A and B are shown apart, each in its own frame.
Chain A
Amino acid sequence: DAGVIQSPRHEVTEMGQEVTLRCKPISGHDYLFWYRQTMMRGLELLIYFNNNVPIDDSGMPEDRFSAKMPNASFSTLKIQPSEPRDSAVYFCASSLHRGDTEAFFGQGTRLTVV
């Protein structure tokens, strides 16, 4: 398995545009997490899914952010409309449901909104 795959690696967009980030978790993993990394706030959990169902989206900053997981092998994080303060690195991670759960991270998407 190639691990968690995120695309694109880099995204530069203009304020007001829609941005879609994509994630392919490790096959067989039950959980999928979306995080945002910034210098000021570190790693913030935005939302996570269990068996494709959103469990906790309390970290989603506002209604401009939405996430979906239509099947076990694909998830999207959408920002519409995007704003400069959304600029950050967005990470996707997946894990199994077991006692010593380790989360495996993708390489992240560096988003710049100008």
Chain B
Amino acid sequence: AQRVTQPEKLLSVFKGAPVELKCNYSYSGSPELFWYVQYSRQRLQLLLRHISRESIKGFTADLNKGETSFHLKKPFAQEEDSAMYYCALLGRGGGNKLTFGTGTQLKVEL
């Protein structure tokens, strides 16, 4: 079974403060992990994927297999970062099953 856990439903930070959105996963194989973002009135879209090791809009995420975590981080939050963030796991066993966490609403206050 594969499962993604995002412990925080809501995270509120001030502009310029560091951000960390937590994600833990459970999967018996080698996972592929993603962060998706949903801005107000827009479609859910891919933010970044762990295999790319990229920084998108200042966000980074490192896969920690020992802690089974894939936390999303940004050193300085911007007002436009306010959105709903979903962590997702792609399990290859038996097909490309894409499972999401329950999401964290990030609110960046001025």
A residues neighboring B (CB under 8 Å): 3, 31, 33, 35, 41-45, 48, 50, 55-56, 91, 93, 95, 97, 99-103, 105-108
Bitwise, B73-104 to A at CB < 8 A (1) or not (0) is 00000000000001010100011111111110
CB nearest to A50 among chain B residues: B95
Contact among B36, B52, B94, B97 for A45, CB-based, below 8 A: B97
Task: With both chains docked as a complex, state the minimum distance between the C-beta of B96 and any C-beta of chain A, in angstroms.
Answer: 5
CB of B57 within 8 Å of the partner chain: no
Q: B94 touching A103 by the CB < 8 A rule?
A: no
CB of B17 within 8 Å of the partner chain: no
Q: B51 touching A100 by the CB < 8 A rule?
A: yes
CB nearest to A91 among chain B residues: B44
Number of interface residues of B (CB under 8 A): 24
Which label, helix, strand, loop or mixed, suits the secondary structure of the B interface? Answer: strand
The complex places the Cα of A44 from the Cα of B90 at a distance, in Å, of 14
Apart from A33-B98, A48-B97, A105-B45, 17 more pairs, CB < 8 Å? A42-B86, A42-B101, A43-B101, A43-B102, A45-B98, A45-B99, A50-B95, A50-B96, A55-B97, A93-B44, A93-B98, A101-B32, A101-B96, A101-B98, A102-B46, A102-B49, A105-B44
Q: A103 touching B98 by the CB < 8 A rule?
A: yes
